[in-house]
Amino acid sequence: MSSNSLQVVYMTSGAAGMYCGSCLNDNTLARALMQAGVDIQLIPTYTPIRTDEPDVSAPRIFFGGINVYLEQKSRLYRALPTKMTRWLDNRGLLKWVTSYALSRSYSGLGPLTVSMLDGALGHQKREVEQLVDWLANHARPNVIHFSNLLIAGCIPEIRRRCPARIVVTLQGDDIFLDSLPEPYRSQATDRMRKLVPLVDLFTVHSRFYQSLMMERLSIPESKFARLPLTIDVTDYSVAPAAPQESGKLVLGYLARLAPEKGLGQLVEAFLRLKRQPGMGDVELRIAGWLGEQHRGYAETQFEKLNEGGLRDQWRYVGELDRRSKVEFLRGLDLFCVPATFLEPKGIYLLEALAAGVAVVAPAHGAFPELLAATRGGRLCMPNNVDDLAATLARLLANAHDRRQLAATGQAIVHAECNARVGAERLAKLYDVLRGSSKVG
């Protein structure tokens, strides 16, 4: 991998203490690039990132969430000297304060989103100036990589003062946009479209998402590069998950406990599956981060299982650290997160396959491409509980097919979807981009 004089600043977006697929992906790629000798700094925005791998992000946070919010709300606050406001970007304080924001809906962030996309013309002008000053006078990168376009309203000012190439990864921008009410959704979309000509390259993980964002943001096809999703596989054993000693079959879910991830659909499918012949020994294990805003939703799903007579046949094991996650996955016979939205990534499917577990996923979003590439699972009809239950039942009843899918998927993920491969692909893109003519 070429790294001579390649200096990269990778801007990622913190998720206020929540495990976030984009944060995990950004941190994994940055760490792999560092291990390969690339001079890269992973810079958090809004809040510190949270990852179950070693956190390689820089100590400093730009666009600190507290300052960004107060600058949006108060003209008087915007007039205060910087030395009176910088202390609010303390990592510990940001973690503590912004954890309370997790119970709030994104829908209330419309004005702030539009202002951030306005960059130096928005209420957060001071934050933009501080970032661009640091980039131009201290970091001096030749590539600046944003993990989404929503945090990239500063690009016009960067273009004015920095000679760096600009890369933007699109990996869920549409989901946030769709959460905004009008007129903010249209205003934010319009501002994002205006940033497109200033970006040298957009990267995506799938053809599906490329097509979606090409249409949504009017991005020319020539500006795209597809980088298949990768994960760190170093602590996943290259061997199939062991059968359960109890003789029971275990179906597993590992994702945020939220409606869009399809926990409710999986619960309904499990209730139907348990009524089928030969499914009496199947158990359901649920793991993942549970935010206060979704606690009522999750408890409703748990109560459905109990009221269905399955009190002793399911378990919620909570939020898992890295080691516990690997152990949890290796204790499964089949994995399913039937997301109801058009998932742009699906890191949890790669993690299950890396652990040697076959998967079932709905046939929409990035899932069809991901399973076509890994050959480690089966697709079911999206948002169809009956078909989900039937697909799960077929694989649970057929150990040969299930284990063959698991072995094939695991081998491909370890060989082709590991972080080292992902870092090599990205570094090659950086090198090519660095040697090309800049846009604008």
- Residue 116 and residue 156: Cα distance in Å, rounded? 12
The answer on 411 and 423 residing in a single domain is no
Amino acid at 308: G
Over residues 198-206, mean pLDDT: 97
pLDDT at 2: 43
Please choose, from the candidates 332, 324, 331, 323, the residue with its C-alpha nearest in 3D space to the C-alpha of residue 359: 332
The answer on 423 and 411 residing in a single domain is no
Task: Provide the 10 A C-beta neighbour count for residue 364.
Answer: 17
Please choose, from the candidates 408, 358, 374, 377, the residue with its C-alpha nearest in 3D space to the C-alpha of residue 250: 358
The answer on 185 and 135 residing in a single domain is yes
pLDDT at 14: 79
Which pLDDT band holds residue 240 (cuts at 50, 70, 90)?
A: low
Judge whether 16 lies within some domain: yes
pLDDT at 440: 45
pTM for the model: 0.93
| Cα–Cα–Cα angle for 15, 75, 151, rounded to 5 degrees | 30
- Residue 207 and residue 365: Cα distance in Å, rounded? 10
pLDDT at 242: 59
- Cα 127 from chain centroid (whole Å): 25
The answer on 38 and 178 residing in a single domain is yes
Tokens for 13, please give them.
């977006």
Judge whether 19 lies within some domain: yes
pLDDT at 387: 98
Over residues 189-200, mean pLDDT: 98
User: What mean pLDDT is reported for the chain?
Assistant: 93
Judge whether 88 lies within some domain: yes
The answer on 275 and 148 residing in a single domain is no
Task: Provide the 10 A C-beta neighbour count for residue 153.
Answer: 27
Tokens for 68, please give them.
């960004």
Does an H or E element contain 30, and which? helix 21-35
The alpha carbons of the chain give a radius of gyration, in whole angstroms, of: 22
CB-based contact 419:232 (threshold 8 Å): yes
The answer on 211 and 64 residing in a single domain is yes
The answer on 429 and 398 residing in a single domain is no
Range of lowest pLDDT (45-49, 137-141, 312-316): 45-49
The helix/strand/coil state of 140 is coil
Over residues 410-420, mean pLDDT: 97
pLDDT at 3: 47
Judge whether 2 lies within some domain: no
List of E strands, 269-336: 282-287, 314-318, 334-336
CB-based contact 349:378 (threshold 8 Å): no
CB-based contact 84:91 (threshold 8 Å): no
Domain count, the chain: 2
103-143: pLDDT as tens digits: 455 557 899 999 999 999 999 999 999 999 999 999 999 99
pLDDT at 243: 60
Judge whether 56 lies within some domain: yes
Which pLDDT band holds residue 237 (cuts at 50, 70, 90)?
A: confident
Judge whether 242 lies within some domain: no
132-165: pLDDT as tens digits: 999 999 999 999 999 999 999 999 999 999 999 9
The answer on 253 and 207 residing in a single domain is no
pLDDT at 1: 42
pLDDT at residue 333 is higher than 70: yes
Which pLDDT band holds residue 438 (cuts at 50, 70, 90)?
A: low
The answer on 400 and 430 residing in a single domain is no
The answer on 402 and 429 residing in a single domain is no
Give whole-number Cα distances, 267 to 248, 277, 296, 397, in Å: 18, 18, 15, 19
61-88: pLDDT as tens digits: 999 999 999 999 999 999 999 999 999 9
- Cα 198 from chain centroid (whole Å): 24
Range of lowest pLDDT (9-18, 237-246, 282-291): 237-246
The answer on 279 and 222 residing in a single domain is no
pLDDT at 40: 97
- Domain interval for residue 289: 249-416
- Residue 244 and residue 252: Cα distance in Å, rounded? 13
The answer on 285 and 139 residing in a single domain is no
CATH code for the domain in which residue 378 is found: 3.40.50.2000
